[in-house]
């Protein structure tokens, strides 16, 4: 489906380096080494509610990765899904007496508007699960034929025992896996499964639920297999980065890796699994189930500048868990004002060192707070009238636009 319009990406002098990022599977920083084309998959939204700051933080984090890769001379092949049929969406639609497809379309539209406002570079392929059913079904059939999937009362489950690498993404103990499986959409208590952790691949049709015909009987896909079908179809195996929020490490990315590795007989699924931290409010993780959400669209309607929101997100390292507060936003608006004033003054201190510092900070595990500090320092010197370089304000402005996505 259509993603959203791409913001202009200014061309900068010189070139940056391929970034190091933290790979959850390695438990360490790894230097990304894409070929000419860097391949990125980031898990998309389930469109049953508006985009909150936690989502925005995740998509801005991987937007930085894309910007840094591009600045390092790579093209980027970026794929994102929309989980436009799943339990939470169907439950919300039923609760509100709304057609589930209308709910999905409305919230996906709002997400596009939020991403556009935040100047997030769009994926090359933005794929709804509904439009990928014909890719998902053969994958489930294949897993069944390989003996890696089995039937429980018509529902098809994946056997985690079929992947010798199972557990390598999260590195979690079986007890922790069980706990997270129960919390994050799994059904470890269901009788008849070979292993309580085994995830659903295909859910047989139920009364009142949408379903699609398949050789497995009518039904709809499980959560993890949808991303695998879309990612493998568009990116192949061993793509550079699988991204998402840290709540996707297990089970979603662990299961996805296993599905793909068993189905293709190749490994790894992704070269690195990179995860963004959680944004909290009032001491709790921001989540739909807790109802403590700050929505991008609500702030936009209240007149908050999207670039201030973006700077508020960038003021926190992508891997850290942090709290959204009014002060965070106020500080971001102040910073935006200072930067704008600085690039609006004629002349300035040379921006070569600033550009080098931005590149150096971002290549080091996407250190956005460090990059912001570098621009702060340049802007502070500029505002005191330091420097005579007529080209400097323009270079600084284009650098924060291209590398940080902040248009001044
Ligand atoms: Zn996913």
pLDDT at 76 over 70: yes
Ligand 1 mean position, distance from CA 227 (Å): 5
What percent of the chain stands above pLDDT 90? 91
pLDDT at 221 over 80: yes
pLDDT at 384 over 90: no
Ligand 1 mean position, distance from CA 251 (Å): 10
Ligand 1 mean position, distance from CA 43 (Å): 4
Ligand 1 mean position, distance from CA 355 (Å): 34
Q: What is the pLDDT of residue 301?
A: 96
pLDDT at 291 over 80: no
Ligand 1 mean position, distance from CA 7 (Å): 25
- Structure confidence at residue 33 as a pLDDT band (50, 70, 90): confident
Q: What is the pLDDT of residue 171?
A: 97
Closest CA to 112 of 55, 156, 33: 55
pLDDT, tens only, 184-200:
999 999 999 999 999 99
Ligand 1 mean position, distance from CA 274 (Å): 12
pLDDT, tens only, 108-141:
999 999 999 999 999 999 999 999 999 999 999 9
Q: What is the pLDDT of residue 288?
A: 67
Ligand 1 mean position, distance from CA 219 (Å): 19
Within 8 A by CB and 6+ apart from 80, the residues are 3, 41, 42, 43, 44, 123, 125, 126, 127
Ligand 1 mean position, distance from CA 136 (Å): 13
| Number of Cβ within a 10 Å radius of residue 176 | 12
- Structure confidence at residue 388 as a pLDDT band (50, 70, 90): confident
Ligand 1 mean position, distance from CA 223 (Å): 7
pLDDT, tens only, 354-377:
999 999 999 999 999 999 999 999
Ligand 1 mean position, distance from CA 381 (Å): 44
pLDDT, tens only, 265-284:
999 999 999 999 999 887 77
DSSP string covering 141-196, please? HHHHHTT-EEEETTEEEE-GGG-TTTTTTT---HHHHHHHHHHTT--TT-TT-SST
Ligand 1 mean position, distance from CA 231 (Å): 9
Q: What is the pLDDT of residue 385?
A: 82
Please give the model's pTM, rounded to 2 decimal places: 0.96
In sequence order, the β-bridge partners of residue 244 are 275
Ligand 1 mean position, distance from CA 151 (Å): 23
Q: What is the pLDDT of residue 191?
A: 97
pLDDT at 287 over 90: no
Q: Computed from CA positions of residues 133, 134, 135, 138, in that sequence, does the dihedral angle turn out positive or negative?
A: positive
pLDDT at 72 over 80: yes
Return d(Cα 201, Cα 192) in angstroms, integer.
15
Ligand 1 mean position, distance from CA 245 (Å): 10
Ligand 1 mean position, distance from CA 244 (Å): 8
């Amino acid at each position: 489906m259509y993603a959203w319009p791409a913001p202009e990406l200014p061309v900068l002098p010189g070139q940056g380096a391929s970034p190091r990022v933290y790979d959850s599977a390695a438990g360490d920083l790894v230097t990304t080494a894409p070929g000419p084309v860097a391949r990125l998959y980031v898990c998309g939204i389930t469109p049953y509610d508006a985009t909150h700051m936690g989502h925005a933080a995740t998509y801005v984090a991987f937007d930085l990765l894309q910007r840094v890769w591009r600045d390092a001379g790579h093209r980027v092949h970026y794929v994102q899904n929309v989980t436009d049929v799943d339990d939470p969406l169907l439950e919300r639609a039923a609760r509100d007496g709304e057609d589930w497809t209308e709910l999905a379309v409305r919230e996906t539209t709002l997400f596009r508007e939020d991403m556009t406002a935040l100047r997030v570079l769009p994926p090359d392929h933005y794929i709804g699960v509904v439009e990928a059913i014909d890719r998902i079904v053969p994958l489930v059939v294949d897993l069944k034929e390989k003996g890696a999937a089995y039937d429980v009362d018509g529902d098809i489950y994946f056997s985690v025992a079929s992947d010798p690498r199972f557990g390598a993404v999260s590195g979690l103990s079986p007890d922790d896996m069980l706990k997270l499986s129960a919390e994050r959409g799994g059904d470890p208590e269901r009788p008849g499964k070979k292993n309580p952790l085994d995830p659903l691949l295909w859910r047989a049709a139920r009364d009142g639920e949408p379903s699609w015909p398949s050789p497995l009987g009518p039904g709809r896909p499980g959560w993890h297999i949808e991303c695998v079908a879309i990612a493998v179809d568009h990116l192949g195996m061993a793509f550079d980065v699988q991204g998402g929020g840290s709540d996707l490490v297990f089970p979603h990315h662990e299961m996805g890796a296993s599905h793909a590795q068993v189905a293709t007989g190749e490994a790894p699924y992704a070269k690195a699994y990179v995860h963004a931290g959680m944004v909290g409010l009032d001491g709790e993780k921001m989540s739909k189930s807790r109802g403590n959400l700050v929505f991008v669209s609500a702030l936009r309607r209240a007149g908050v500048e999207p670039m201030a929101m973006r700077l508020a997100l960038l003021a926190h390292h992508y891997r850290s868990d942090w709290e959204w507060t009014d002060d965070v936003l106020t500080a971001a608006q102040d910073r935006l004002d200072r930067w704008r004033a600085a690039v609006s003054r004629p002349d300035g201190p040379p921006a070569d060192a600033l550009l080098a510092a931005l590149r150096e900070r971002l290549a080091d595990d996407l250190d956005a707070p460090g990059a912001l500090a570098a621009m702060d320092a340049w802007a502070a010197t500029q505002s005191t009238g330091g420097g005579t370089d007529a080209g400097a304000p323009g270079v600084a402005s284009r650098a924060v636009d291209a590398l940080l996505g902040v248009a001044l």
